[in-house]
Amino acid sequence: MKKLIIALGLMAITFGNTAMAHDKEIDKHVQQAFNKEFAGAVDVQWYTNDTYVQVDFTFNSMRLVAYYDNDGKVLAVVRNIYFPSLPLSLQLDLKKIDKGYWITKICEVTNQEGTQYRVTLESAEKIIQLSSNGVSGWEVIKREVK
């Protein structure tokens, strides 16, 4: 009986959290799409703006972020990864980049176009963001001075 009460309590908390995002109700199409795609997700947090819904959650012990349009269509799913999880060719290409930089973020972005990788490199003076489709090396998508 205790297990049933605990399970019902957890379900109520989970569904209560998935219904609202900072006092703004989430569209049912977005909720249904998320629940279908990521059944069993935990630690779900919803964020909204005028153009998309962001869902931060844990799925299969991985922390993920999913982005949906307001009609419930998945725009992208993002996960942070470690350097050894990059394809070997991308690891080797990163090692060729100037030694004065260190990696501060690596993520894998999956969307309709496939899987891309994003890396943020920093030095004492600069921040560089790189992108790759996983096959043809890295492309600089943003440079900024600190």
**Both tokens assigned to 24:** 């703004």
Looking at domain 2-78, its CATH architecture is Roll (3.10)
Task: Report pLDDT digits (tens) over 8-51.
Answer: 333 334 444 444 455 578 999 999 999 999 999 999 999 999 89
> What's the pLDDT score for residue 21?
58
Mean pLDDT of 109-135: 95
CA–CA gap between residue 66 and residue 53 (Å, rounded): 8
Whole-number Å distance between alpha carbons of 138 and 133: 8
* CA–CA distance, 127 with 130 (Å, rounded to integer): 10
Q: Looking at beta carbons, which pairs linking 32-37 to residues 24 or more positions away fall under 8 Å?
A: 32/72, 33/68, 33/72, 33/73, 33/74, 34/66, 34/68, 37/66, 37/74
| Amino acid 23: pLDDT | 56
For residue range 83-115, list pLDDT tens digits in order.
999 999 999 999 888 788 999 999 999 999 999
Quick one: average pLDDT of 67-96? 95
Where are the chain's structural domains?
Answer: 2-78, 83-145
